[in-house]
Amino acid sequence: MSDPVHQLRAVLSKYWGYDSFRPLQLETMQAVLAGRDSLVVLPTGGGKSLCYQAPAMCQEGTAVIVSPLISLMKDQVDAARACGIPASLLNSSLNISERREVLQELKAGKIKLLYVAPERLTPSGLLTDLSQTKLSFIAIDEAHCVSQWGHDFRPHYRELYRLREGFPDVSLHAFTATATERVRLDVIEQLQLKQPEILIGNFDRPNLTYRAENKSEVVSQIDDVIRRHEGESGIVYAITRKEVDRLSETLKYMGHKVRPYHAGLTDKERKDNQEAFIDDRVTTIIATVAFGMGIDKSDVRYVVHAAMPQSLEHYQQESGRAGRDGLEAECCLFFGGDDVMMWKHILGDKEPEQYRHAMASLNKIADYCRVSICRHQALVKHFGQELDADCGSACDICLNEREEVDESLVLGQKILSSVYRQQQRFGVEYTAQVLKGSNEARIVQNGHEKLSTWG
Ligand code: ADP
Ligand code: ZN
């Protein structure tokens, strides 16, 4: 066999027409070819798919790719076939005869890349079929789904340890775009990776400009962002379906070309709205987090969060959908005290340990919103990395856009003093009203208009 690097280069050029590797692609592909288990964390747009597609073309046998989303799988198979790679998929979208056909091709050794849904990998199902096939390796895409500490835990992923048991001699390769140290360790443990090669890419996205602003008039704040990007594509995320509907109606009324997207719409509505966005018939999608995974639109110029997301992992992934073409794009996060309350309410039915974890994640993103350190620096730090220098000009902090308050020490003292005099029993909104000197009924009922901090 010729030198693996040479072989990989030839495949890259023959099937994709690319002449160089993106950062860590070569190292990742070499681990695959060497049959060494690996865990690879590369940011969105980093080129993960090639990391398993190219080695699959250099080896005998079929590479199995476990992927969580049916829509994503189909796109990947179509894209691979368009490059001349024999790829197929097995998931619940196939009927019996289509399924039989794929299995026959598999047995005949005609498939180089087989995408499968995790729920198919049961002992009575696909595991048996695969045991009669020559496998080159197994790749697990979106591997963070295996960990309950990740932001997108999927119970079916938990069953994937069966792959290690069923195929002890086939190497396993876990890929994800987002994983904190804890999630990485959990992925290794859950999948029973054997002394894996761990490759972690650079998390910074220098072409994105990050801003985080207090919510005042959120609709007009969003309106400003959309106007800055006249005619360009963008995504606005909101927490609830109700808020998505409210924002879409208001922004539409204001003359913007927007469409909503959330789980309460019919499949057809969702599909139509998504296609209108991809084909540039509308500029802006207003969505819950249900939107985005597997959507390959590289020219998204802005991602707005109309409220604080539930964790920095979510934020990194959602904001990361901006600027995948490498050109400049903007990410604006509008936050308010009520967002934390909203998340506490939504996450309230989790098991105690998971609830604690969710609250810790919530606090981290709330800190991110408030602190005055370079946002690029803060984001990569969350993923265990550090930049040599602050971004300088690609975040609100470095651009000096944040309003500074005069005499912040005295102001802080006044706030704490009011909290103390209110017997530490009232929240942010209430305290702000007292400090501003409101005559609201509840304040008068509590006698708080008589406090020295009132007004
Ligand atoms: P990810 O899954 O990590 O988000 P993809 O695998 O979808 O990223 O790759 C993002 C884009 O980059 C795709 O359009 C892909 O064809 C392109 N790409 C990947 N590797 C290379 C490379 N070595 N040279 C040029 N383009 C590449
Ligand atoms: Zn900065």
pLDDT at 150 over 80: no
pLDDT at 389 over 80: yes
Ligand 1 contact, 51 CB (< 6 A):
no
Residue 155's pLDDT is what? 83
Give the mutation target among 8, 12, 18, 77 for probing the ligand 1 site: most ligand atoms within 8 A of CB. 18
Ligand 1 contact, 42 CB (< 6 A):
yes
Q: Which of 149-163, 382-396, 441-455 has the lowest mean pLDDT?
A: 149-163
**Percent of the chain whose pLDDT exceeds 90:** 71
- Give the 3-state secondary structure of residue 38: strand
pLDDT at 108 over 70: yes
Ligand 1 contact, 50 CB (< 6 A):
yes
Ligand nearest to the CA of 209: 2
Q: What is the average pLDDT across 103-109? A: 93
Spatial distance between the Cα atoms of 174 and 144, rounded to a whole number of angstroms: 9
Q: What is the average pLDDT across 269-293? A: 92
* Per-position b or e across 356-389, b if 16+ CB within 10 A of its CB: ebbbebbebbbebbeeeebbbbbbbbbbeeebee
Ligand nearest to the CA of 395: 2
**How much is the mean pLDDT over the chain?**
92
Ligand 1 contact, 8 CB (< 6 A):
no
Spatial distance between the Cα atoms of 118 and 68, rounded to a whole number of angstroms: 7
Closest CA to 322 of 444, 228, 210, 177: 210
Q: How far is the CA of 70 from the centre of ligand 1 (A)?
A: 20
Spatial distance between the Cα atoms of 402 and 425, rounded to a whole number of angstroms: 30
Give the mutation target among 49, 51, 327 for probing the ligand 1 site: most ligand atoms within 8 A of CB. 49
Nearest atom of ligand 1 to the alpha carbon of 45: 4
Ligand 1 contact, 30 CB (< 6 A):
no
Ligand 1 contact, 18 CB (< 6 A):
yes
Ligand 2 ion: nearby residues, β-carbon < 5 Å: 374, 390-391, 395, 398
Ligand 1 contact, 48 CB (< 6 A):
yes
Residue 69's pLDDT is what? 80
Residue 14's pLDDT is what? 95
Ligand nearest to the CA of 399: 2
pLDDT at 106 over 80: yes
- Phi, psi dihedrals of residue 450, rounded to the nearest 5°: -95, -5
Which pair of tokens denotes residue 357?
């974890």
Residue with tokens 């692609």: 25
Residue 178 contacts residue 317 (beta carbons within 8 Å)? yes
Closest CA to 309 of 266, 356, 347, 257: 347
Residue 202: CB partners within 8 Å, gap ≥ 6? 23, 43, 380, 385
Band (pLDDT 50/70/90 cuts) for residue 107 is very high
Ligand 1 contact, 146 CB (< 6 A):
no
Q: Which of 22-36, 124-138, 383-397 has the lowest mean pLDDT?
A: 124-138
Ligand nearest to the CA of 392: 2
Q: What is the average pLDDT across 279-293? A: 91
Compare 349 and 293 and report the one with higher pLDDT. Answer: 349
Q: What is the average pLDDT across 64-72? A: 87
Nearest atom of ligand 1 to the alpha carbon of 141: 2
Ligand 1 contact, 25 CB (< 6 A):
yes
pLDDT at 145 over 70: yes
pLDDT at 429 over 90: no
- Phi, psi dihedrals of residue 401, rounded to the nearest 5°: -90, -15
Band (pLDDT 50/70/90 cuts) for residue 1 is low
Residue 178 contacts residue 379 (beta carbons within 8 Å)? no
Residue 260's pLDDT is what? 97
Nearest atom of ligand 1 to the alpha carbon of 79: 16
Q: How far is the CA of 185 from the centre of ligand 2 (A)?
A: 30
* Per-position b or e across 239-268, b if 16+ CB within 10 A of its CB: bebebbbbbbebbbeeebebbbbbeebeee
Q: How far is the CA of 372 from the centre of ligand 2 (A)?
A: 10
pLDDT at 2 over 80: no
How open is the CA angle 155-156-161, to the nearest 5 degrees? 105
